[in-house]
């Protein structure tokens, strides 16, 4: 970059984009439907930037920008470590998913996605569903995770949960001495799509499972299927006396306050961006709590969507997702060898592949 350009002072989202390495941030506004959304494209080095669209009642624009920047960066790392030819992107729509959805809003959003000509491919995320994706699909082909009836791969959550379960077992082998979860005390925070399927695996293996959710009907639904489950109140999660804590709700549940109270030996869950800040990884290490990096063990859903795009079947996706066990073990080993955190070891792994591919691309374009 020319020196004069590099030294121009930048403040606000642009400086954060530069620091975090983002390519593009797209603000979307449609007056007729009330749509306000932001699409974040972190990297297209490995392929089109793929990541879900989150619908959330953000308290401020700054909060939404930070969310989309962090989430899209996480998608780049996730795809890279999982060995997929995909870049990282994510989008957020402002609004309450239980109140503000409309066909017009998602169609307007679909037109914005379409305007990026495949550089960004969207999918489901917190607050959006398969039917929302169907509305988006009327305006663009750059949408994944469509229902099976439309030729899509359907709900990615069961595959995500399977990967989390595999990563948790690998983490247990390191933190608890073996990978059996039978009799282990596991707390699943957030029993929505991913949490529910994770509970199924844990119950099947004979774990002693606690569940927690702020939405009572989700708790009751699961209790009606598995009456043996214990319920933990949302404000008691951090101090629960369990072996493994599985955050499966929203991000940033690992922060200074919660980490000080944790009593578990291992954190392994499906939520994205579990660490509120980089310092929180050090806080976990100071308390000798093992951490299976979120973007490594929750990659199953992305693998499933990748299979859809590439025309591969669910068996392929499940087989690849099973590999999260070995990948997690390898990351724990590299972290120990290099005396870094497991999060750092995973980020380094992601960067290694990104750097190599970018280098190869540059070399072939200058030939």
Ligand X SMILES: NC(=O)c1ccc[n+]([C@@H]2O[C@H](COP(=O)([O-])OP(=O)(O)OC[C@H]3O[C@@H](n4cnc5c(N)ncnc54)[C@H](O)[C@@H]3O)[C@@H](O)[C@H]2O)c1
Instruction: Give the integer Cα–Cα distance in Å for 297 and 195.
Output: 13
Is 276 near ligand X (CB under 6 A)? no
Question: For residues 148-183, b (16+ Cβ closer than 10 Å) or e, as one string?
Answer: eeeebbbbbbbbbbbbbbbbbbbbbbbbbeeeebee
Question: Using CB under 6 A, which of the segments 85-93, 112-120, 210-218, 282-290 binds ligand X?
Answer: 210-218
Q: Considering only residues 57-76, where is the footprint of ligand X by CB under 6 A?
A: none
CB of residue 321 to ligand X, shortest distance in Å: 11
Among 48, 95, 110, 190, binds ligand X (CB under 6 A): 190
CB of residue 143 to ligand X, shortest distance in Å: 15
Beta strands in 21-128 (DSSP E): 24-30, 35-43, 49-50, 53-56, 87-94, 120-121
Instruction: Give the integer Cα–Cα distance in Å for 209 and 242.
Output: 9
CB of residue 306 to ligand X, shortest distance in Å: 12
Structure tokens given for 32:
């007729």
CA dihedral sign of residues 54, 60, 61, 66: negative
Q: SS3 helix, strand, coil % of the chain, rounded to 5?
A: 50, 15, 35
CB of residue 18 to ligand X, shortest distance in Å: 25
CB of residue 161 to ligand X, shortest distance in Å: 8
Is 298 near ligand X (CB under 6 A)? yes
Question: Using CB under 6 A, which of the segments 28-36, 130-138, 156-164, 168-176 binds ligand X?
Answer: 156-164
User: Using the 8-state DSSP alphabet, how is residue 148 labeled?
Assistant: G
Q: Considering only residues 99-128, where is the footprint of ligand X by CB under 6 A?
A: 125-126
- The residues, any chain, with a CB within 8 Å of residue 308's CB and separated by 6 or more, are 144, 145, 146, 152, 153
180-to-173, 205, 360 alpha-carbon distances in Å: 8, 8, 42
The yes-or-no answer on residue 90 being catalytic is: yes
Instruction: Give the integer Cα–Cα distance in Å for 331 and 320.
Output: 17
Q: Considering only residues 251-270, where is the footprint of ligand X by CB under 6 A?
A: 251, 270
DSSP readout, 246-267? EE-SSS--BSHHHHHH---SEE
Structure tokens given for 140:
């663009």
Among 212, 258, 321, 328, binds ligand X (CB under 6 A): 212
Question: Using CB under 6 A, which of the segments 28-36, 57-65, 187-195, 354-362 binds ligand X?
Answer: 187-195
Contact pattern for ligand X over residues 220 through 239, marking x by CB under 6 A: --------------x-----
At which residue do the structure tokens 């930048």 appear? 10
Catalytic residue among 90, 101, 119, 320: 90
Instruction: Give the integer Cα–Cα distance in Å for 85 and 366.
Output: 22
3 state DSSP class of 332: helix
CB-nearer residue toward ligand X: 26 or 305? 305
CB-based closest residue to ligand X: 192
CB-nearer residue toward ligand X: 14 or 214? 214
CB of residue 355 to ligand X, shortest distance in Å: 25
Question: Using CB under 6 A, which of the segments 2-10, 166-174, 184-192, 311-319 binds ligand X?
Answer: 184-192
Is 89 near ligand X (CB under 6 A)? no
Among 215, 255, 287, 314, binds ligand X (CB under 6 A): 215
By annotation, the residues acting in catalysis are 90
Give residues in contact with ligand X (CB under 6 A): 125-126, 156-157, 160, 189-195, 212-215, 218, 234, 248-251, 270-272, 298, 301
């Amino acid at each position: 970059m020319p020196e004069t350009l590099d030294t121009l002072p930048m403040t606000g989202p642009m400086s954060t984009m530069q620091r975090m390495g983002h390519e593009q941030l797209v603000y979307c506004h449609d007056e007729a439907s009330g749509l306000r959304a932001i699409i974040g494209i972190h990297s297209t080095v490995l392929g089109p930037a793929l990541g879900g669209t989150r619908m959330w009642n953000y308290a401020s624009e700054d909060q939404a920008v930070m969310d989309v920047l962090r989430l899209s960066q996480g998608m780049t790392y996730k795809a890279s470590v999982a060995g997929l030819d995909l870049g990282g992107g994510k989008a957020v729509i402002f609004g309450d998913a239980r109140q503000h959805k409309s066909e017009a809003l998602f169609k307007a959003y679909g037109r914005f996605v379409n305007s990026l000509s495949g550089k960004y491919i969207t999918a489901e995320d917190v607050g959006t569903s398969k039917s929302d994706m169907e509305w988006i699909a009327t305006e663009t082909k750059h949408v994944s995770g469509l229902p099976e009836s439309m030729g899509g791969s359907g709900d990615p959550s069961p595959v995500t949960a399977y990967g989390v379960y595999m990563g948790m077992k690998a983490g247990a082998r390191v933190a608890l001495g073996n990978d059996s979860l039978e009799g282990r005390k596991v707390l699943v925070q957030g029993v929505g799509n991913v949490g529910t399927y994770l509970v199924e695996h844990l119950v099947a293996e004979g774990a002693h499972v606690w569940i927690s959710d702020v939405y009572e009907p989700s708790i009751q639904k699961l209790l009606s299927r598995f009456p043996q489950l214990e319920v933990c109140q949302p404000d008691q999660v951090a101090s629960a006396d369990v072996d493994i804590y599985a955050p499966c709700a929203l991000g940033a549940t690992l922060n200074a306050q919660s980490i000080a109270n944790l009593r578990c030996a291992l954190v392994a869950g499906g939520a994205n961006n579990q660490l509120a800040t980089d310092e929180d990884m050090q806080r976990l290490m100071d308390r000798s709590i093992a951490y299976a990096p979120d973007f490594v063990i929750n990659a199953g859903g992305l693998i499933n969507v990748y299979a859809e795009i590439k025309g591969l079947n669910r068996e392929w996706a499940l087989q690849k997702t099973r590999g999260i066990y070995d990948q997690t073990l390898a990351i724990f080993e590299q972290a120990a060898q290099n005396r870094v955190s497991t999060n750092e070891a995973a980020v380094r792994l992601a960067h290694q592949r990104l750097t190599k591919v970018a280098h190869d691309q540059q070399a072939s374009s200058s030939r």
